[in-house]
Chains A and B, each alone.
Chain A
Amino acid sequence: MAVTSSGTAVVTLPADDQILIKRQFAAPKHLVYKALTTPELVKRWWSSDYGDMTVADIDLRVGGKWRYAMVTKDGDEVAFHGEYREIVPNERIVSTEAYEGAPDADANAAVNTVTLTEADGATILTVLVQCPTKDVRDVIIDSGMEVGMQKAYDYLEKVAVSFI
């Protein structure tokens, strides 16, 4: 899982309170940045096939707020919001993210660091989800696991063959 191939998102768990998502895109980074920060473009991809995106508010400045909402096929609204903490155009966005359906959503907000790195016209996008505590990360993945996530993950590499 260390190898990133274009077209496939790779998820790793670098620490007990982190999730890392990585994906390569066949486009220069300024266009990836544009697609990540322009409301009408975000509306076209963010909700994936889970539902229609109804809100994409982006106040792209440090201290500015964002809010995304979608309506699922079952008619439920799923919404997230947060605040921008750091913005380096075309390279890096640090923002908080709270899931509005969670208790104490803002207190338990994650901090997401989006990084864009360009090489040979392709862009590697990484999203590092930093949870405030290991417990919150465990809630996010709803696993009930207390410790040892990363170790467990390391072993998955070695023992994956035994799952087949």
Chain B
Amino acid sequence: MHCMARAATTADAFNAVAEPRRCQILDALAGGERPVNDLVERLGLAQPQVSKHLRVLREVGLVEVREEGRQRMYRLNGRPLKPIHDWVKDYERSWSRRFDRLDVVLEELKEKEDGEGGSDE
């Protein structure tokens, strides 16, 4: 169960994601870009609170904003989460290589067992 090392530079993004209200905001934005009013309505929070959470999310780069007329439109940016995505994928590949070898061993065991007619089923 050999684990790999990978440096991450975005610990803040992971901390930002851990807060329940911010999770709700990200959940809402996962469905697409939304104006702040829409988020206020969905979360049932006062606008200053929503704005505060959005500011934290913007600071770590998880949320981006643009002006559209008089509206501020917010959208999700997953890139700050990429280090963990990469780590999990690397770890998966390392286990897959190991298990590919196990497949070869198992094929031989199956053939041997069939050859002996010794199945216990």
In the assembled complex, B102 has its CB within 8 A of some CB on chain A: yes
With contacts A8-B92, A142-B7 taken as known, whether A163 is within 8 angstroms of B18 at the C-beta atoms is no
Q: How far is the CB of A97 from chain B (nearest CB, A)?
A: 5
CB pair A149 B84 closer than 8 Å? yes
Per-residue A-contact encoding for B1-35, CB less than 8 Å = 1, 0 else: 11111111001011111100001001000100000
Please name all residues of chain A whose beta carbon is closer than 8 Å to the beta carbon of B38 when the two chains form the complex: none
The residue from B2, B97, B103 contacting A78, defined by CB atoms under 8 A apart? B2
The residue from A44, A145, A148, A158 contacting B101, defined by CB atoms under 8 A apart? A44
In the assembled complex, A58 has its CB within 8 A of some CB on chain B: no
CB pair B14 A48 closer than 8 Å? no
User: How many angstroms between the C-alpha atoms of A78 and B4 in the bound complex?
Assistant: 13
Q: How far is the CB of B26 from chain A (nearest CB, A)?
A: 6
Per-residue A-contact encoding for B50-80, CB less than 8 Å = 1, 0 else: 0000000000000000000000000011110
Q: Give the size of the chain B interface in residues (CB under 8 angstroms).
A: 50
With contacts A34-B109, A97-B1, A142-B7 taken as known, whether A9 is within 8 angstroms of B14 at the C-beta atoms is no
Most chain A CB within 10 A, of B91, B94, B102, is at B102
User: How many angstroms between the C-alpha atoms of A147 and B105 in the bound complex?
Assistant: 39
Per-residue A-contact encoding for B87-121, CB less than 8 Å = 1, 0 else: 11001101111111111111101100100000011
Q: Give the size of the chain A interface in residues (CB under 8 angstroms).
A: 55
CB pair A162 B96 closer than 8 Å? no
> What are 25 A-B pairs at a CB distance below 8 A?
A7-B96, A21-B1, A23-B96, A25-B99, A35-B106, A99-B2, A110-B1, A142-B5, A143-B8, A143-B83, A143-B87, A145-B11, A151-B14, A151-B23, A152-B14, A152-B17, A152-B81, A155-B26, A155-B30, A155-B81, A156-B78, A159-B30, A162-B77, A163-B78, A163-B82
Q: Which 7 A-B pairs have the closest CB atoms?
A: A159-B78, A148-B18, A45-B101, A9-B95, A142-B5, A27-B106, A158-B30
